[in-house]
């Protein structure tokens, strides 16, 4: 089985609330996915490596951070990657990555973005579920950039957020000409 590279960008999934710092009441800590994997106990055939790109709230992620992610993904020896990311700008970063990979001609990688609406450290978090879907999705999906949230796996350009903030299939709009 091929190694899966998991890249941390930060976001709610990695939030910790130890003290007030820099105007926030949280810090983005160590990759939560390490703790999640001990609970999920994935198949022994799933080999993972975890690296950090940045540790930021997704609203603070810049195009420079996205470029760092693009570099890491483009240069990775692995062809299957999971990116943990905050939900507020997850689709924006997935779009940036898909565009950058296309411009570079990188077509043989499967990248799945995921995150959570509540921190992994919270009792009723969705983090374990979303990471589980992402790990299954990255092994089953064809090459490209995908989003695994709320029990769905959708291509980056076929996912939206509805008025409740949930990730949902993008509605198609059809132009009617008369």
Predicted local confidence at residue 176, as pLDDT: 46
Domain encompassing residue 141: 4-169
Give the number of domains in the chain.
1
Predicted local confidence at residue 177, as pLDDT: 47
pTM, two decimal places: 0.87
Judge whether 155 lies within some domain. Answer: yes
Of the pLDDT bands very low, low, confident and very high (cuts 50, 70, 90), residue 1 is low
pLDDT averaged over every residue in the chain:
88
* pLDDT, tens digit, 9 for 90 and up, residues 66-107: 999 999 999 999 999 999 999 999 999 999 999 999 999 999
* pLDDT, tens digit, 9 for 90 and up, residues 166-177: 999 997 654 444
| Angle between helix 33-40 and helix 127-140 axes, rounded to 10 deg | 80
Judge whether 20 lies within some domain. Answer: yes
Predicted local confidence at residue 44, as pLDDT: 66
Judge whether 175 lies within some domain. Answer: no
Judge whether 177 lies within some domain. Answer: no
Judge whether 41 lies within some domain. Answer: yes
Judge whether 66 lies within some domain. Answer: yes
CATH code (residue 10): 3.40.50.1170
Predicted local confidence at residue 65, as pLDDT: 98
Judge whether 174 lies within some domain. Answer: no
Strands 159-161 and 152-155: unpaired
DSSP string spanning the chain? ---EEEEEEESGGGEE-SS-BTTBS-EE-S-THHHHHHHH---TT--EEEEEEEEE-GGG--HHHHHHHHHHHHH-S-SEEEEE--STTHHHHHHHHHHHHHHHT--S-EEEEE--SS-TTSTT-SHHHHHHHHHHHHHHSPSEEEEEETTEEEEGGGEEE-TTS-EEEPPP------
* pLDDT, tens digit, 9 for 90 and up, residues 40-65: 877 666 788 999 999 999 999 999 99
Judge whether 29 lies within some domain. Answer: yes
Predicted local confidence at residue 29, as pLDDT: 72
């Amino acid at each position: 089985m091929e190694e899966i590279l998991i890249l941390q960008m930060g976001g709610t999934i990695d939030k910790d609330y130890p003290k007030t710092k820099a105007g926030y009441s949280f810090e983005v800590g160590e990759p939560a996915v390490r703790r999640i994997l001990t609970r999920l106990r994935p198949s022994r055939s799933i080999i993972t490596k975890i690296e950090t790109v940045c540790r930021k709230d997704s609203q603070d992620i810049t195009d420079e951070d996205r470029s760092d992610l693009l570099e890491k993904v483009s240069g990775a020896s692995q062809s299957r990657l999971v990116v943990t990311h905050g939900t507020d700008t997850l689709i924006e970063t997935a779009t940036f990555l898909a565009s950058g990979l296309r411009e570079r001609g990188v077509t043989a990688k499967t990248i799945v973005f995921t995150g959570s609406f509540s921190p992994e450290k919270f009792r009723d978090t969705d983090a374990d579920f979303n990471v589980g879907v992402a790990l299954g999705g990255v092994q089953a999906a064809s090459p490209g950039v995908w989003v695994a949230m709320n029990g769905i796996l959708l291509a980056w350009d076929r996912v939206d957020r509805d008025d409740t903030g949930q990730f949902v299939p993008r509605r198609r709009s059809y132009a009617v000409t008369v």
